[in-house]
Amino acid sequence: MTDNQRAGVGASPYRIDGKIKTDGKAEYIQDMDFAGLLEAAILPSPYASARIRGIDCGAALAVPGVAAVITGADVPGFYGTTIQDRPVLARERVRYVGEPVAAVAARGKEAALMALNRILVDYEETAAVFDPEEAADPTAPLLHEDLMTYEKEPIVNAIAGTNICSQFRLRKGDMEKGLALADLTLEESYEVPRNHHACLEPYGVIAQMEREGILHIWTGNQSPYVMQRSIAALFGLTWNQVRVSIPALGGGFGSKIYPSLEPLVVALARKTNHRPVRLLLDREEDFCRVTNHGCKIKIKTGVTRDGVITARQMTTYWDTGAYADCGPLVARNSGFTAAGPYRIPNVSVDAYSVYTNLPVATAFRGYGIPHLTWAYECHTDHLARKLGMDPLEFRLRNVVRNGDSSHTGEVLRSVGMKACLEKAAAAAGWVAGKPPRPVDLGDGRFRGLGLACSWKGSMRHYGSAATVRIMEEGSVEINVSNVDMGQGSSTIFAQMVVEEIGVPLGRVRVQRADTFMTPYDRTTSASRGTFHAGTAVRAAARDAWRQIQDHGAKVFGCAPEEVYSRDGKVVNPKTGEGVSHGALLKKAVIGGIDVIGRGYSQMPGGTGLDLETGQGANPTSFWMYAAQIAEIEADTRTGQIKALKVYAASDVGKAINPVNCQQQIEGAVSMGLGIGLMEELRFDEKGRLRNGNLHDYKIPTAMDAPEVEALLVEVAHPLGPYGAKGLGEAPVAPAAPAVANAVYLATGRPVWRAPLKPETMKKIWQEAGEEV
């Protein structure tokens, strides 16, 4: 059997959703049909900071076809992922350009836009602040005077009288002592500007107050149960009155984890006599809905002459925008990994999540790790050069190993960091101690290699549940609320069921998440799907298989544990004959019954982190490790950098589906290269986004795509299903600094700010007088 005909764990069968997608039949929000559907439109704030003196909606309501017009006055309450700081529509003041000030539901988008044109808003512009470091200063204009009285999650550590909505502190060892031990210290500042998820599918949501009292929301969201509970709390409903159904997602990457505009659409839907309301954002609106964080990073490291890191101090300013969303969590969860995958006895991290008058920054694949990796990995190469040491050798000397203590005091197990470095280096032909020499191609062009590595924690343990239903005719349904947004999790779950139950893959269907049908799962984020939802699915499959064995025992007249499966059939151990699952069930249960297996992922031992020291023995379910080597060509006369090839190694624990793992790595590398080479949201001096479209905001095209050699390292995790760890996020981070380090090795020019656009690089090379 070839690999793709096998379908169990470790094989690479074709994706179970491949056919509907290549037929163009997968149904995304924009494809759904509803009778009586109303279209919503949002009036955005034109100011980054202003008081609202008055709103007049009279003329808007008079537009034919308008069903509802709402403003902040119509929707009380606040929402927010970590801090309840956000009104559904602006009340009294606006805090960023694009903030919803009013919204309309009407028959047809034309009528909705016409109504928006007739809403008069009286603004008084006030002072704004856009830079997170400036915003953190106590003299900066305050975005939220009520910061200290908002409801908050326990991890939030706000600083009164400032725009710092949360501070994360980590203290390990003795910084002064550590620096004193160093022969050499290097202090640098780095920056990664705001960039954007740019899912190919623009965001959309549909909401309906159904006649029987159910609030039904269809949204391309990664966390249906978080959505259900947030919406229920905001609108005073019980959880079982809120149904969240998830259609196909055209990418997520963190942009769809938390409630964003869903509350607004629900607020409209409550005023439309049970008619469904749909909000489909234009691409330009989508750019302002949520973005990635921008970040400024200060890093100081002490090393001995032999290349041993003695101390590292980091201060980071996260631009979280006008509302906190998950900003405090990004600062915290990236904060405890900020010093990088290195053994460092003395570590200090201060991470600030800071309000600015820019759109809301949210989760982005990697949750801050790509920003930090950019800083500490460029920094690592700068240190290596000062030491006169090969960057690979320097890393191999310092990276974390099994049994090491993490920066929070966790004893690390199943660590694949060194293995990833070695695998990437072997593939690229980079021998430790002998850094590859750049090649001078003439006319100002150079070719060279660069290296970077990274680690990422997932998140603490949160529960996931699943059921596996075997129908009497032999088909199987997996019910799980993990959202397959393109990462391929539904195929992974189906493979687990094949592995455990022995049914053919073609008989397995994975339900789309729906809070009325599929059981609880916290969220599809933090690369946790395979690990947690997978654990639940495997447990449910095993539970279902035990029931099949029980039925088999009755029918075959044997002990349950003697019943086994072979080639998609349940085998009678006495005769060796196989029957289909369906045929067995028919015989076993007259009148028919579905077998339902239940499974949970509830793991022991998660801890929080101490608010003062950031110490904690088990802050994350698992760690991910990645190392990449990029081969680039740099044209110093035009500033153009071309990524030619990336050798990308990731520790996946166990590859349930190796091809799927490679797909994740390849896509992650492309995203990382975008961050490193071209992606940057440009805001003007008034906080207006100047490149909010897919022409002016550059993401890599097929022409920019390098060849990626995805390399799998398998250091099994004791709690992961079949040993698997998560994967999706970690390989985003090393790509950009690997390119930067290749540029550094090839041309000798250090860089500190991403992205390395041709214009930026040309300037750097010109100033260095290196233009040929």
Partner 1 sequence: MPEASLWGEKAATKRRVTITVNEIPYTYTLPVDLRLADFLRECLNLKSVKLGCGAGDCGACTVLLDGRATPSCIVMAVEAHGKSVLTLEGAERDRLIRALQVAFIEKGAVQCGFCTSGMILTLAALLRENRRPTKEDIKRALAGNLCRCTGYQRIINAALAVVSDGL
Partner 2 sequence: MSQTVGPAACQGDSFGYEAPGSLEELAAILRSEAGGERTPLFLAGGTDLWVDLRSGKKQANLVIDLKQLPELSGVREREDETGLGALLPIHSLESLPALGREGQALREAASALGSYQVRNRATLGGNLGNGAPTADMAAALIALDAVLELWRPDGSGRRVAVTDFWRGAGKTCLGPQEVICRVWLPRRVGWSSAFLKQGPRRAMDIAIVNAAVSLKTVKGVIADARVALGGAGATPLRPVGAEAALVGQKPSMAIFRRAGELAAEVSDPRGSGRASREYRLSLIPVLTERALTLAAERLTSQDDKKVARVK
The CB-of-340 to partner 1 minimum distance in angstroms stands at 25
Which of 35, 54, 64, 139 is the binder for partner 1 (CB under 8 A)? 64
As a whole number of angstroms, the distance between CA 320 and CA 316 comes to: 12
Distances (CA, A) of 672 to 144, 363, 368, 395, 628: 33, 15, 12, 21, 11
Which of 8, 10, 46, 578 is the binder for partner 2 (CB under 8 A)? 46
Beta bridge partners of 710: 648
729 catalytic per annotation: yes
Does the CA dihedral 250-253-254-260 come out positive or negative? negative
HSE of 437, CA atoms in CB hemisphere, 13 A: 3
**Interface with partner 1 includes 21 (CB under 8 A)?**
yes
Interface segment toward partner 1; rule CB under 8 A; list 47-55, 132-140, 195-203, 461-469: 195-203
User: Tokens representing 244?
Assistant: 């969240």
Beta bridge partners of 356: none
Q: Is 497 helix (H, G, I), strand (E, B) or coil?
A: helix
The CB-of-197 to partner 2 minimum distance in angstroms stands at 18
Interface segment toward partner 2; rule CB under 8 A; list 321-329, 465-473, 569-577, 634-642: 634-642
The CB-of-162 to partner 1 minimum distance in angstroms stands at 36
The CB-of-235 to partner 1 minimum distance in angstroms stands at 30
Considering only residues 443 to 472 of the shown chain, the ones binding partner 2 according to CB under 8 A are 443
As a whole number of angstroms, the distance between CA 463 and CA 155 comes to: 19
Interface segment toward partner 1; rule CB under 8 A; list 141-149, 191-199, 290-298, 419-427: 191-199
As a whole number of angstroms, the distance between CA 93 and CA 125 comes to: 9
The CB-of-123 to partner 2 minimum distance in angstroms stands at 5
The CB-of-291 to partner 1 minimum distance in angstroms stands at 15
Residue with tokens 């949160």: 462
The CB-of-114 to partner 2 minimum distance in angstroms stands at 8
Strand pairing category for 120-125 and 50-56: antiparallel
The binder of 250, among partner 2, partner 1, none, by C-beta within 5 to 8 A per type, is: partner 1
The binder of 107, among partner 1, partner 2, none, by C-beta within 5 to 8 A per type, is: partner 1
As a whole number of angstroms, the distance between CA 187 and CA 192 comes to: 17
Interface segment toward partner 2; rule CB under 8 A; list 16-24, 63-71, 118-126, 433-441: 118-126
User: Tokens representing 78?
Assistant: 């606040």
The CB-of-280 to partner 1 minimum distance in angstroms stands at 8
- The answer to whether 737 and 373 have CB atoms below 8 angstroms apart is yes
**Interface with partner 2 includes 180 (CB under 8 A)?**
no
Considering only residues 108 to 127 of the shown chain, the ones binding partner 1 according to CB under 8 A are 108-111, 113-114, 117
Catalytic-labelled residue, pool 729, 759, 770, 771: 729
Residue 98 or 220: which CB sits closer to partner 1? Answer: 220
State the DSSP code for 446.
E
As a whole number of angstroms, the distance between CA 42 and CA 279 comes to: 9
As a whole number of angstroms, the distance between CA 277 and CA 106 comes to: 8
Considering only residues 710 to 769 of the shown chain, the ones binding partner 2 according to CB under 8 A are 757-759, 762-763, 766
State the DSSP code for 323.
S
User: Tokens representing 611?
Assistant: 């608010």
Which residues does 46 contact at the CB level (< 8 Å), separation at least 6?
A: 97, 123
Considering only residues 662 to 691 of the shown chain, the ones binding partner 2 according to CB under 8 A are 678, 682, 690-691
As a whole number of angstroms, the distance between CA 680 and CA 294 comes to: 9
Which residues does 475 contact at the CB level (< 8 Å), separation at least 6?
A: 507, 508, 509, 582
Q: Residues touching partner 1: how many (CB under 8 A)?
A: 68
**Interface with partner 1 includes 198 (CB under 8 A)?**
yes
The binding track of 660-689 with respect to partner 1, each residue x by CB under 8 A or -, is x-xx--xxxxxx------------------
**Interface with partner 2 includes 386 (CB under 8 A)?**
no
Of 731, 723, 726, 563, the C-alpha closest to 646 is 731
Residues 378/381/386/392 CA torsion (nearest 10 deg): 170
Residue 24 or 236: which CB sits closer to partner 1? Answer: 24
HSE of 100, CA atoms in CB hemisphere, 13 A: 30
- The answer to whether 752 and 191 have CB atoms below 8 angstroms apart is yes
The binder of 330, among partner 2, partner 1, none, by C-beta within 5 to 8 A per type, is: none
**Interface with partner 2 includes 582 (CB under 8 A)?**
no
The CB-of-44 to partner 1 minimum distance in angstroms stands at 17
The binding track of 269-288 with respect to partner 1, each residue x by CB under 8 A or -, is -------------xx-----
Q: Give the interface with partner 2 as residue ranges (CB under 8 A).
A: 43-44, 46, 113, 116-117, 120-125, 443, 637-640, 642, 678, 682, 690-691, 695-696, 698, 700-704, 757-759, 762-763, 766
Using CB under 8 A as the criterion, which residues of the chain lie in contact with partner 1 when the complex forms?
Answer: 4, 12, 14-15, 17-28, 30-31, 33, 63-65, 107-111, 113-114, 117, 197-202, 248-251, 253, 282-283, 485-488, 659-660, 662-663, 666-671, 693-695, 699-703, 705, 707-708
Catalytic residues: 729
